[in-house]
A and B are shown apart, each in its own frame.
Chain A
């Protein structure tokens, strides 16, 4: 097999294991452990008066019951606010167990540990919590009126307020630019809540041996959980190991840490001196983890006769739920990524992060961008409609040109660094998507419409990732990196990178991720960053190993290192294939030995005659072994982009919405594995269609989540997802050695905007709220019918 694998559609090496039941997920571990269950608040907002556990004490197999009062001071502190920001003036996080007030249905109040989960749930059912119900705050507009407060000390329920202004090149503010424009529009947009919905929920399993703690957790960041657990439990870091086993999906929710259970389960294991495990069930995932998406946006835009935007002014109410453990990353991303591929004259964006008595909001795949793109792309569609122009023409009139990179959007991105696009070619991409979907040939027909959406995604945020590569004396290559995997295909793409860099067949390469025993320094898997960050770090580490291998091989072959190359695991002199030495032997030579235990290692022992008697066995400044470690730390994010288009059909009688075709053009720089990128796109588009047509979190006025199960939270099945047509454009990133950009979140980002545009085109009714169901489309048709005599738009002349 060739060792030049970068860019090839190599089959996923993890799939045989994962698809035949060989995966080891959290709940597959710890079969003998005690199990935990939680009493969770049935109220959206209430004061805890009393907790009576007496009836539960009779449950056979009960081991322990803990309330907040049982927790030591360190453990009982509010959970950390992971990403502070100067604008987050009123950041609030939950206690691991509710202290006196519960602020959303599902907040943990009591922890029960028992012989098994059945008994733990039996005991939970017998614990009586006396609540004094308080009036819940539900809905953004109600919340900002501030009549009721989620947190007593947060006036108006606003946790953060941030304004960013980018004046025009002539120094005009967005509002001035809008006033001076020949045409203006003003409108309101709504996006409802959805959530990461990994097939495997969260879960924690902890073992304490009296001095060392080992924690398995279904997380997107094992190194950070390790630091958080060590801090909360007062343990020295070297005595804590955290391992992410196979993780059945994350989509953002598992980057949040430490979850209450990630502190409480290890703490209970230490206190009880027994293994303890907790596996989240689906209802817990709905009401006790995190949601995203909910925003109300008020938009004003001013533009000229060609549709060129002179000024854009967006005010966002962002529903943050009850707490802000992940800071205000989501609304920051919405407000900074809103401009997409466009050069907007002047921009003003303002958001309020608003507390409500609902599940907290943290990033979910797309992380604020679907809302941003919905806003920008609806704006483009409305401008085109107003001017009577083709929607792609208006977009093209606003694109950043291919010769304008690096392009500074004039804002601060989520990594705290300037928002500078590194590369891209938006006009080419538009041409490709129009060809792929057949935009110019589309025959307009009643109840059949076409839509388009464009986005730019900042990917590969810092601060860093690392890679460690070791070649052992059997010729195998062991790659490890600290960030975690949730099924993305890291075992394949990181091996492709190593195979290409080292000239080793992929079969001899193994990859380990997310295990702090193997690699202790890492940030985590989020923000479409794994390939960019760990991919480059592994490439750099491989280059170090390669350099050392060539140096050692050069000595053995009595050649110049510059004349050597590696292919199929053999180092040989260029042009003289017979003069070669296998990497396995190089690995042996790299590690001078006293003891032999097989034929290979015997070659490195003191009487083998391979080493010069005049030099120390390990040269000064050198290290034994054929291994290397390196880190990649980018100056700033790299910006991927994409354009999607869809054709939808609506049923004139039943208002059912069918996606007939869905096309994607995607640019994530150089492709490591086009098949895996396409898989990421397919999964993302499927989630996007879920968010556009099916999924929502239905809260009633009491703050009860009415659809907290897969019966009523409608994730699309494969039967609801159309065939997805894809094409790739490759504009390499100049920022990193491999020239790559992230691809993980891309697919989900523009889907609501695309589908809204297509439905609008099919129906002639403005679609300003997503998701949309057939029942809602039916209502919109009726409203449009009633208003047929009077123009219903809210355009300003």
Chain B
């Protein structure tokens, strides 16, 4: 379990990194937190000739919250984002990512680029309609979440490109969020997971409701269930119908840890729980029991 030979590049400036990436093209891989890449190298499942290690590029280690949203640089670690982003859904999601030691090394942007359909952060980006900024020698491009996740472990990043930041938009007022998942062990990739955002009007009626589901399709599955909530207060929504609708949009597969049928069951249960949690959070102190039982 030792990696095959590779050339290690340690640029100190973004420009330098882009130069190297342009030169090595498909023969290169970017090393940031290394929480997925290093095991793949050690197991010789990946054998890039060049590793472009961006850990010395201090300008990428940024977390910039604003009223519109938070921009997370390519070197911002999970734990740093959890502390600084000021974004409730990101915080909820990051608490479910592995363990503190991994969160101290792993990066949010790295997780997005890795595009594991079982990971939490791609679902968050998809749910919020965020985007990823890709840089190459010739310039920048911004790719929306819907286009960014192409397939399992496959993102829109092209050879020669570096994902420099991700943008997670803020939520409208009186919105609530939640992330629910079932994992075999604490911190494991979820067997199924659902993150939800619910927005209420002044009368605490639901005006918008969306979920993004984890581990039940090749990419995060976003389902808009706002219509099914019919601008009702959360306590009178037909949640079973909502859960059914979410289930119908997913195509889980079975593996050694869970059957497809079980995952389908989970995604419905978790969607209902996450949506209710989000509605409860959106109502805040105003609604004493906005969801009902």
* A-to-B contact residues, CB < 8 Å: 117-118, 121-122, 125, 281-283, 653-656, 694, 698, 706-707, 709, 711-712, 714, 716-717, 719-720, 773-775, 778-779, 782
Contacts and interface: CB of A to CB of B under 8 A. Distances in A.
Contacts of A775: 191, 257-259, 262
B265 interface: yes
Interface in B163-197: 182, 184-188, 191
Contact of B186 (A283, A719, A782): A719
A712 B257 contact: yes
A654 B256 CA distance: 17
Contact of B184 (A281, A283, A714): A714
A654 B187 contact: no
Contact of B262 (A282, A719, A774): A774
A282 B43 CA distance: 10
Interface in B70-116: none
B5 interface: yes
A283 B4 contact: no
Given A774-B258, A774-B262, 20 more contacts: A118-B2, A121-B1, A122-B4, A653-B265, A653-B269, A654-B182, A656-B182, A694-B185, A709-B43, A711-B39, A714-B188, A717-B187, A720-B185, A773-B257, A773-B258, A774-B184, A775-B258, A778-B261, A778-B262, A779-B259
Contacts of A654: 182, 265-266, 269-270
Contacts of B8: none
Interface residues of B, number: 25
A719 B266 CA distance: 21
B2 A712 contact: no
Nearest to A782: B261
A778 B185 contact: no
Residue from B1, B5, B191, B258 whose CB has the most chain A CB atoms within 10 Å: B1
B114 to A, nearest CB: 14
Interface string B253-274: 0001111011001100110000
- CB-based closest 8 A-B pairs: A719-B186, A281-B1, A775-B262, A775-B258, A118-B2, A653-B269, A778-B262, A698-B256
Contacts of B266: 654
A773 B43 CA distance: 27
Contacts of A281: 1
Contacts of A717: 185-187
A118 B3 contact: yes
Task: Specify which of A117, A118, A773 lies most central, judged by the most chain B CB atoms within 10 Å of its CB.
Answer: A773
B44 interface: yes
Nearest to B2: A118
Contacts of A716: 185
Q: Is the interface of B mostly helix, strand, loop or mixed?
A: loop
Nearest to A708: B43
A279 B262 CA distance: 40
A547 B65 CA distance: 78
A553 B66 CA distance: 84
Given A712-B257, A778-B262, A121 B44 contact: yes
B185 A122 contact: no
B273 to A, nearest CB: 9
11 contacts: A118-B2, A121-B2, A281-B1, A283-B1, A654-B265, A655-B262, A720-B186, A774-B191, A775-B191, A775-B257, A778-B262
Contacts of A125: 4, 44
A589 B94 CA distance: 70
Contacts of B185: 694, 714, 716-717, 719-720
A779 B187 contact: no
A720 B186 CA distance: 7
Contacts of A117: 2
Nearest to B256: A698
Contacts of B1: 121, 281-283
Contacts of B187: 717, 719
A653 B180 CA distance: 14
A781 to B, nearest CB: 10
A694 B262 CA distance: 17
Given A121-B2, A774-B182, A706 B262 contact: no
A712 B257 CA distance: 8
Contacts of B191: 774-775
A281 B1 CA distance: 6
A375 to B, nearest CB: 26
Nearest to B4: A122
Contacts of B44: 121, 125
A698 B256 CA distance: 7
A772 B265 CA distance: 18
Nearest to A656: B182
B184 A122 contact: no
A694 B184 contact: yes
Contacts of A698: 256
A779 B2 contact: no
A693 B184 CA distance: 9
A773 B184 CA distance: 8
A712 B261 contact: no
A518 B184 CA distance: 47
Interface string B29-44: 0000000000100011
B136 to A, nearest CB: 32
Contacts of B270: 654
A117 B5 CA distance: 12
Interface in B1-43: 1-5, 39, 43
Nearest to A281: B1
Nearest to A117: B2
A283 B256 contact: no
Contacts of A118: 2-3, 5
Contacts of A778: 259, 261-262, 265
A706 B255 CA distance: 10
A284 to B, nearest CB: 8
Contacts of B5: 118, 122
Nearest to A124: B44
Nearest to A706: B256
Contacts of B2: 117-118, 121
A706 B254 CA distance: 14
A689 to B, nearest CB: 11
A684 B108 CA distance: 38
A694 B258 CA distance: 12
Contacts of B257: 712, 714, 773, 775
Nearest to B268: A653
A197 to B, nearest CB: 14
A698 B184 CA distance: 16
A654 B269 CA distance: 7
A779 B186 contact: no
A382 B79 CA distance: 50
A779 B262 contact: yes
A719 B98 CA distance: 12
A719 B4 CA distance: 35
A649 to B, nearest CB: 15
Select the residue from B186, B256, B266, B269 with max chain A CB neighbours within 10 A. B256
A96 to B, nearest CB: 22
Contacts of B259: 775, 778-779
A125 B47 CA distance: 12
A18 to B, nearest CB: 20
A716 B44 CA distance: 26
A716 B186 CA distance: 9
Contacts of A709: 43
